[in-house]
């Protein structure tokens, strides 16, 4: 169980890093990009905190928090990846 959660957490965190790094490249305006970053970070913290409620052990709680945090970024990462694949500009 912990191994599966570790792998899922790694994928979710990779999506979070990708989304946070690519966001300024595809969002017009520095303030708008910063605002979206803050929204993603706050939503990630909220979902990660909720995920810890279901963890029975402390190390699983950490993985659950990180996985929940990263999971919020997955849709944004997919959208940014598709925009990059299409060669889209800032919007």
Q: pLDDT tens digits, residue range 6-38?
A: 999 999 999 999 999 998 888 888 899 899 999
Hey, where are the domains in the chain?
Answer: 8-86
Q: Name the residue with tokens 């946070």.
A: 20
- pTM summary value: 0.85
Note whether 16 and 77 are within 8 A (CB). yes
Task: For residue 32, count CB atoms less than 10 angstroms from its CB and return exposed for 0-12, middle for 13-18, buried for 19 or more.
Answer: middle
Q: Work out the mean pLDDT of the chain and round it to a whole number.
A: 90
């Amino acid at each position: 169980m912990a191994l599966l959660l570790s792998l899922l957490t790694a994928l979710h965190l990779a999506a979070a890093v990708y989304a946070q790094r690519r966001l300024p490249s595809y969002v017009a305006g520095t303030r708008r990009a910063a605002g979206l970053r803050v929204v993603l970070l706050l939503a990630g913290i909220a979902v990660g905190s909720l995920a810890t409620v279901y963890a029975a052990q402390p190390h699983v709680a950490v993985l659950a928090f990180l996985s929940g945090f990263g999971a919020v970024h997955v849709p944004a990462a997919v959208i940014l990846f598709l925009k990059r694949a299409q060669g889209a500009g800032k919007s």
